[in-house]
Amino acid sequence: FFREDFTARSASVRVRFGAGIRAAVSEEMDNLGVSRALILTTPQQSDMADEFANYCGAKAVGRFTGAAMHTPVDVSEQATDLARRLGADVLISVGGGSTTGLGKAIALRTDLPQIVVPTTYAGSEATGILGQTENGVKTTLTSAKVQPEVILYDAELVATLPLSMTVTSALNAMAHAAEGLYARDRSPISSLMAVEGLRAFRDSLPKVLADPGNLTARGETLYGAWLCGTVLGQVGMALHHKLCHTLGGSFDLPHAETHAIILPHAIAFNASAVPDLLAPLADLFGTSSGFGAGTGLWQFAKSAGAPLSLRDLGLVEADLDRATDLATANPYWNPRPVTKDGIRRLLQAAWAGDRPD
Ligand code: NAD
């Protein structure tokens, strides 16, 4: 992974792993020198807010259980008001990317520190990136203010993640690492993390599917999520993330499922331009069975029971032309030139659920 010229950057984050490590949240508050926690969850995970209030005891000053998909600005402002009214000095986000997004949105407005306890593999906890929506428009920003200070990866919390979400969320995480391998601003360290993150999912996901409560295997999936999320925080993404952003934003397709379906196609598209950079991915998923990087990923996703076609998410074939126009409207960097024809063909295959070439 050596390059002659590179710039490496990394955030200052404290990360702890372990089944049951969530109970250390109070100790982590002490380490940060804070004593007034606002606990954040989605409505579906409000029981986690109760559990964390118990761990924090008198140091829990409030809870906000209204985290929502795509981090709507009005919800963030409501939660920020609450944080200010309560005099909170730390945010504890327990959940997936939506809850982490809410914590980041409050941190952006208040500069409060964040302790994040992830319950999916999305990886937002490991980045300084925040996506927000206002009036149906999603914008993304990067700021040190939103980078969480502490992450507690607790295998027990993902052990209850339904299997369909386990698979799509894992592929969502793997997409960060896969695109990280050819990022223009990659460093030897980001590439090492990307390959190890992909390897961790390749080895642990089948074990989790065979035995969803296997805490060792669940722990390894979280390890993969951390590595893949860290790559996302360090380097720029390309075609795959652009397509998912377009499909999610303009056609309201679900986040993790869309990533799962698009990933093999985007990687197959780019593999012809950067075969050497994607060789480690091909070696992990394809070479031994005679497949390339994209086809190998498609086989892996299929054998894990992932959704394979955009049609199954409700996208109609007539939308593919508009999706192509939107995804190619603003030029952006990608290792292979993005043409309308190429993207239309890619989307057609992903819509139909065909194996990429
Ligand atoms: P999510 O956070 O929206 O969660 C989906 C649903 O699953 C929610 O109802 C949640 O409460 C529930 N859930 C979460 N964990 C569960 C568990 N263990 N058991 C049962 N239910 C559980 O989904 P996500 O895929 O984690 O996050 C997607 C969002 O995160 C998107 O908005 C995406 O843009 C954002 N994201 C941001 C970054 C970043 O760096 N800024 C990175 C990745 C994802």
SS (H, E, C) the chain: CCCCCCCCCCCCCEEEECCCHHHHHHHHHHHHCCCCEEEECCHHHHHHHHHHHHHHHHHEEEEECCCCCCCEHHHHHHHHHHHHHHCCCEEEEEECHHHHHHHHHHHHHHCCCEEEEECCCCCHHHCCEEEEEECCEEEEEECHHHCCCEEEECHHHHCCCCHHHHHHHHHHHHHHHHHHCCCCCCCHHHHHHHHHHHHHHHHHHHHHHHCCCCHHHHHHHHHHHHHHHHHHHHCCCCHHHHHHHHHHHHHCCCHHHHHHHHHHHHHHHHHCCCHHHHHHHHHHHCHHHCCCHHHHHHHHHHHCCCCCCHHHHCCCHHHHHHHHHHHHHCCCCCCCCCCHHHHHHHHHHHHHCCCCC
**CA atoms of 349 and 265, how far apart (whole Å):** 8
Q: Which of 45, 134, 143 to mutate to test the pocket of ligand 1 (most atoms within 8 A of CB)?
A: 45
Do residues 99 and 190 share a domain? no
Question: How high is the ipTM of this complex?
Answer: 0.99
Do residues 216 and 294 share a domain? yes
pTM: 0.97
> Do the beta carbons of residue 104 and residue 84 sit within 8 Å?
no
Q: What domain count does the chain have?
A: 2
Residue that finishes a domain, picked among 122, 153, 184: 153
Asked whether residue 234 is assigned to any structural domain, the reply reads yes
CA 357 – ligand 1 centroid, Å: 31
Closest C-alpha residue for ligand 1 atom 2: 96
User: How much is the pLDDT for 49?
Assistant: 98
Asked whether residue 124 is assigned to any structural domain, the reply reads yes
Query: In sequence order, what are the beta bridge partners of 63?
Result: 39
Q: Which of 255, 258, 259, 263 to mutate to test the pocket of ligand 1 (most atoms within 8 A of CB)?
A: 255
Going 109 to 113 to 117 to 123, the CA torsion angle's sign is: positive
Q: Which atom of ligand 1 is nearest to the CA of 126?
A: 40
CA 95 – ligand 1 centroid, Å: 7
Closest C-alpha residue for ligand 1 atom 26: 96
Residue that finishes a domain, picked among 124, 153, 182: 153
Asked whether residue 3 is assigned to any structural domain, the reply reads no
Closest C-alpha residue for ligand 1 atom 40: 124
Q: Which of 219, 244, 350, 243 is nearest to 297 (CA)?
A: 350
337: Cβ–Cβ under 8 A, 6 or more apart, which residues? none
Do residues 170 and 138 share a domain? no
Q: Which atom of ligand 1 is nearest to the CA of 157?
A: 18
Asked whether residue 68 is assigned to any structural domain, the reply reads yes
User: How much is the pLDDT for 109?
Assistant: 98
Do residues 256 and 306 share a domain? yes
User: How much is the pLDDT for 35?
Assistant: 98
Do residues 144 and 167 share a domain? no
**CA atoms of 163 and 159, how far apart (whole Å):** 9
pLDDT along the chain (357 residues), means of 10: 92 97 98 98 98 98 96 97 98 98 98 98 98 88 97 97 98 98 98 98 98 98 98 98 92 95 98 97 91 96 98 96 94 95 98 95
**CA atoms of 213 and 209, how far apart (whole Å):** 9
Q: Which of 120, 221, 257 to mutate to test the pocket of ligand 1 (most atoms within 8 A of CB)?
A: 120
| CATH code where residue 110 lies | 3.40.50.1970
**CA atoms of 109 and 130, how far apart (whole Å):** 12
CA dihedral 273, 276, 278, 282 (to 10 degrees): 120
Do residues 285 and 199 share a domain? yes
> Do the beta carbons of residue 102 and residue 112 sit within 8 Å?
no
Q: Which residues line ligand 1 (CB under 6 A)?
A: 42, 44-45, 69-70, 95-99, 101, 119-120, 122-124, 127, 129-131, 157-158, 160-161, 169, 232, 255-256
CA 70 – ligand 1 centroid, Å: 9
Closest C-alpha residue for ligand 1 atom 28: 97
Residue that finishes a domain, picked among 92, 121, 153: 153
**CA atoms of 317 and 311, how far apart (whole Å):** 8
The domain in which residue 25 lies consists of: 21-153
Q: Which of 65, 98, 129 to mutate to test the pocket of ligand 1 (most atoms within 8 A of CB)?
A: 98
| CATH code where residue 316 lies | 1.20.1090.10
Do residues 27 and 109 share a domain? yes
Do residues 121 and 253 share a domain? no
Q: Which of 117, 45, 111, 101 is nearest to 69 (CA)?
A: 101
Do residues 141 and 201 share a domain? no
Do residues 317 and 180 share a domain? yes
Asked whether residue 10 is assigned to any structural domain, the reply reads no
Asked whether residue 4 is assigned to any structural domain, the reply reads no
Do residues 212 and 325 share a domain? yes
Do residues 177 and 107 share a domain? no
Asked whether residue 42 is assigned to any structural domain, the reply reads yes
CA 97 – ligand 1 centroid, Å: 4
Token pair listed for 342: 């190429």
CA 67 – ligand 1 centroid, Å: 10
User: How much is the pLDDT for 307?
Assistant: 98
User: How much is the pLDDT for 160?
Assistant: 92
Distances (CA, A) of 216 to 116, 151, 174, 222, 223: 21, 18, 19, 10, 11
Asked whether residue 207 is assigned to any structural domain, the reply reads yes
CB atoms within 10 A of CB 265: 29
